[in-house]
Chain A
Amino acid sequence: MTTAPAGFGRVLDLVTRVRGVRGAMLVAGDDGLVVAEQLMEGIKGPAVAALAASLASRLRRALEAAGVGAGQFWHLQAEQGALLVVTAASGVLVVAVAEPDVNVGLVRLELLRAAEAVG
């Protein structure tokens, strides 16, 4: 697993300690660059970060247009896993990559805590 700088490492630890989480990242929401990551081998952090930021941006605009308000949490479900994202107040995305049977509610809570810590 790749490691993050100490401060961010503690934030990402909140997320990666949840059973079924394969990795976590902090991503700059505006340009999709990786701020910090703790990922299992084989996950292409920079590419995932870029796509997650792009998807987050589209979703945010669509949700705002729909009157749902700014997106706080979103969850991409797939056959063999999931991508879960919370937007911090600063616009940084806290991202988790998880197994399909992960406890989504628990990951969401830890992502929200991590987002609060990131500010």
Chain B
Amino acid sequence: MADDVKALSAELAQDPDSLVFLRLAELLRHKGQLDAAHRVALTGLERHPHLADAHDLYARILADKHDFERAFDEWDMALRIAPDHVGALKGLAFLYFKVGDVQQAAAHLAAAQRVAPDDPGIAQALALAHGGEAGQSAAAPAPAPEPMAAAPAAQPLEEARVFAGLEGAEEGLLLLDPSGRVLGGALKNPAGRDVTDAVAAYLAGVSQEAGRTAKLLGLGSWTGLAAEGQHGHAHLTPPTGSALLLVVRERAVPMGRLAIMAQRAAVAARRWLEAQA
């Protein structure tokens, strides 16, 4: 195996534009050398930004490293380039399972099955997904995801934690009820101090106030509130009628990206709230 790595590395060194980086990064990934795999895949991706397989490979490495936000982006990009990419469809299904969105997971698996009808892993995962949908949806355990032949191993959903598996779940995501009570998540300031309760107190009633303002202006229901501060960005979303979800990140995270992160966190929050009802 080490010889394979050497041989592939030599081949890549000889022709840096070749697609051999896909095999090399995959091999390193299988050997558990994730940092090396990450470097090789990223370098290859820089040379082949329109190659869906490269985005898929990079996503799998990111998922192995538990960087699920970026893995989602990469699989999403792979699908934009190649809408029938089975690896990306399975990868996204895996991530949807992780956040408890069984419906979306099943939809992606079904799409993968249409492309690869003979893949037994997909059929098995799909059956499990349909079982989960019919049964207890969000509480259903993630199916063994070598449905996702190439995707990392799934873990059972952590029902007790609203944002389990999402980036910043313990420091930059907060779910509140209308009176400002913390339902899930936590918030830390840049110095690392827990500011969950203070922020929750100030945000009590914001959902109703935003709703009143939008109604008064004849704008319909409010869907989000993005705020730009001197040192960071924040995004508020009502995942359900009265609850409030806050996502906070440093200024380096663009507002548009923050809005996408908030949407994903809102899906998880909605599932969790439904499960509690």
Contact = CB atoms under 8 A, between A and B. Distances in A.
5 closest pairs, A vs B, by CB?
A: A67-B189, A69-B230, A79-B220, A68-B229, A78-B219
Interface in A74-111: 74-83, 97
Contacts of A59: 206, 225, 227
A117 interface: no
**In which size bucket is the chain A interface?**
20 to 34
11 contacts: A58-B202, A61-B202, A62-B199, A62-B234, A66-B232, A70-B230, A75-B227, A76-B224, A78-B220, A78-B223, A81-B217
A18 interface: no
Given A44-B216, A66-B248, A83-B217, A77 B229 contact: no
A66 B199 contact: yes
A43 B214 CA distance: 11
Nearest to A56: B227
Contacts of A51: 209, 212-213, 216
Given A51-B216, A65-B198, A67-B231, A79 B223 contact: yes
A67 B232 contact: yes
Interface in B216-244: 216-234
Interface in B159-212: 187, 189-191, 195, 198-199, 202-203, 205-206, 209-210, 212
Contacts, number: 119
A48 B209 contact: no
Interface of A: 42-44, 47-48, 51-52, 54-55, 58-59, 61-63, 65-83, 97
Given A58-B205, A65-B199, A67-B191, A78 B222 contact: yes
Contacts of A72: 228-230
Given A67-B189, A67-B232, A68-B227, 6 more contacts: A55-B213, A58-B205, A59-B227, A68-B233, A70-B230, A77-B224
Contacts of B198: 65
B206 A62 contact: yes
Contact of A48 (B213, B230, B234): B213
Nearest to A81: B219
Contacts of B190: 67
Nearest to A70: B230
B217 A74 contact: no
Contacts of A42: 218
B183 to A, nearest CB: 16
B216 A77 contact: no
A49 B276 CA distance: 38
A77 B223 contact: yes
B189 A79 contact: no
A65 B203 CA distance: 10
A62 B203 contact: yes
